[in-house]
């Protein structure tokens, strides 16, 4: 029996990613009270690209809290992001947020777009 619920994590955050999100919220007052949204949209070099922003929750969003950070994903994006992991690295070369997506058939060298 499948017991999947709307609160099941569509996207997971590592502790490093959660810590960076908390730091951004603390340092940027315009994001106070908003929630991290991870999404996909058409574009990029491989057909689809990832995006992250701080936003208000919408009625049809999937939401999960991990490491003290809430994450929102809209229904369209959830189809492409289910099982994805968001990590953060502060390395000088290649640092920043990275999304590992098991649904992507191919990724672009930029790390921000993917092929389905």
Q: Specify the higher pLDDT residue, 46 or 81.
A: 81
Q: Pick from 92, 90, 86: which is nearest to 111 by CA?
A: 86
Averaged pLDDT score across all residues of the chain: 83
User: What's the whole-model pTM score?
Assistant: 0.80
pLDDT at 108 over 60: no
Over pLDDT 70: what percentage of the chain? 80
pLDDT, tens digit (0-9, with 9 covering 90-100), for 24-54: 999 999 998 899 999 998 876 657 788 999 9
Please, which pLDDT band fits residue 65 given cuts at 50, 70 and 90? very high
Instruction: Set out the domains of the chain in order of their start, with CATH numbers.
Output: 11-115 (2.60.300.12)
Gap between the Cα atoms of 54 and 79, Å rounded: 20
Question: What pLDDT is attached to residue 4?
Answer: 39
Gap between the Cα atoms of 61 and 102, Å rounded: 21
């Amino acid at each position: 029996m499948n017991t999947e619920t709307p609160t099941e994590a569509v996207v997971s955050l590592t502790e490093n990613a959660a810590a960076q999100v908390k730091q951004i919220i603390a340092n940027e007052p315009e994001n106070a009270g908003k929630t991290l949204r991870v999404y996909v949209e058409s574009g990029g070099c491989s057909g689809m690209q990832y995006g992250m922003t701080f936003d208000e929750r919408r009625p049809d969003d999937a939401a999960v809290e991990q490491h003290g950070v809430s994450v929102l994903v809209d229904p369209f994006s959830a189809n492409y992001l289910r099982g994805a992991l968001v990590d953060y690295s502060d390395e000088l070369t290649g640092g920043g947020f990275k999304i590992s997506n098991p649904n992507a058939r191919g990724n672009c060298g930029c790390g921000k777009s993917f092929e389905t």
